[in-house]
Amino acid sequence: MSDAARENVDIVAPAAKRRQFFLNGGHILLGLGGVMLAIVILTALFAPLIAPYDASATSPESLAPPSAAHWLGTDSIGRDVLSRMIVGGRTTLLITFSAVFLALVAGLILGLLSGYLGGLVDEIIMRALDIVFAFPVFLLALTVVAAIGPTIPNLILTIAIVYTPAMARVVRAPVLSVKQWDHVEAARSVGMSETRIVLRHVLPMVASPILVNTSLTLAQTIFTITALSFLGLGPPPPDPNWGGMVSESRQFMELAPMTVVGPAAAIVFATLTFIVLANGLRETLDVGN
């Protein structure tokens, strides 16, 4: 390496250097995740328009193999698998997004209160959350849904509750250090109220890890909700959902493999979307530095 070249590299700040190459790993992941997310969301939004058949309409051709009319074949009572797969995403994603949104709101409130106020408030909130945290997520969700019944609102609420403690911890940890930063004291010294300090001067500092964790939680939630549905604790019939479809079709798996592969692929795709997105966010936002 020539001296001149090395000098050039040395005088560029790390941040500027990163900006020189727009498409680094993080940006590629983020772009890919964005495109995948757009596909998932648009498909769910316009499902009835995209789906070639009515998702609940039966026909005499049961367990038909893939053909030009039915790209992924039909299931045991002659419903079009592709249409059910497209429409089934709606229920699954509705529950996922609502549940994670609730967990995020609850986690933000509890995490900010706990981290910012500290002391007894922190003790009470964190110990209460520890109780929830002590149960394996899936086992807890399974038990609660089995007890209160698998309706859509119950599923949303249950999943929100099981993911709240993790979210609250992700919020609390950086707040503990950010609240000691000088600019927070500076804000206090000019008469800003504590609420305003938290919202304007603490929350923006901790946004990155929260964003990453939200994306990861979305991935986990899709998995949890489909697993619950697979076990028969998902949203009630006749509306299709991915986990339920895999469950219904597994006994015919050898006769009509596409009836299982289709919804399973959808689950993998949606889960992967949020994992890719989370990794893209993590790299571009420099979380962990």
Partner 1 sequence: MLETEMSETVMSETGPLLRVRDLHAEIGDPRAPVHALRGVSFDILRGEAVGFVGESGSGKSVTARAVMRLAPEGAKVRLRGSVDFAGRDLLQLDESEMLDIRGRRIAMVFQDPMTSLNPVMTVGAQIDDIIRRHMNLSAREARARSVELLGLVGIQDPARRADDYPHQFSGGMRQRVLIAIAISCDPDLLIADEPTTALDVTVQAQILRLLLRLRDERGMSLMLITHDFGVVAGMVETVNVMYRGRIVETGRVDAVFAAPAHDYTRRLLAATPRLHRSGQAA
Residue 17 binds partner 1, judged by CB under 8 A:
no
Options 19-27, 149-157, 165-173, 174-182: segment touching partner 1 (CB under 8 A) = 174-182
Residue 12 binds partner 1, judged by CB under 8 A:
no
3-state SS class at 80 = strand
Beta bridge partners of 148: none
Cα separation, 73 vs 66, in Å, equals 4
Beta bridge partners of 74: 80
Residue 199 binds partner 1, judged by CB under 8 A:
no
Enumerate residues 75-134 that contact partner 1 by CB under 8 A: 118
Q: Please give the distance of CA 46 from its chain centroid, rounded to a whole number.
A: 20
Residue 181 binds partner 1, judged by CB under 8 A:
yes
Which of residues 4 and 190 has its CB atom nearest to partner 1 in the complex? 190
User: How long, in residues, is the chain?
Assistant: 289
Which of 142, 206, 212 shows the shortest CA–CA distance to 173?
Answer: 206
Residue from 41, 173, 205, 265 binding partner 1 (CB under 8 A): 205
Residue 1 binds partner 1, judged by CB under 8 A:
no
What are the C-alpha distances in Å from 255 to residues 35, 66, 78?
34, 12, 14
Which of residues 78 and 118 has its CB atom nearest to partner 1 in the complex? 118
Residue 289 binds partner 1, judged by CB under 8 A:
no
Cα separation, 138 vs 134, in Å, equals 12
Residue from 6, 19, 200, 250 binding partner 1 (CB under 8 A): 200
3-state SS class at 144 = helix
Residue from 201, 218, 246, 283 binding partner 1 (CB under 8 A): 201
Phi, psi of 74 (to 5 degrees): -125, 165
Which of residues 49 and 190 has its CB atom nearest to partner 1 in the complex? 190
How many chain residues are in contact with partner 1, going by CB under 8 A?
A: 20
Q: What angle do CA 207, 213, 214 make, to 5 degrees?
A: 85
Cα separation, 42 vs 113, in Å, equals 36
Cα separation, 63 vs 180, in Å, equals 64
Enumerate residues 127-166 that contact partner 1 by CB under 8 A: none
Which of residues 94 and 192 has its CB atom nearest to partner 1 in the complex? 192
| Smallest separation (angstroms) from partner 1 to the CB of 201 | 5
Residue 19 binds partner 1, judged by CB under 8 A:
no
Residue 182 binds partner 1, judged by CB under 8 A:
yes
Which of 101, 130, 114 shows the shortest CA–CA distance to 175?
Answer: 114
Residue 191 binds partner 1, judged by CB under 8 A:
yes
Which of residues 79 and 201 has its CB atom nearest to partner 1 in the complex? 201
List interacting residues with partner 1 (CB under 8 A): 118, 179-193, 200-201, 204-205
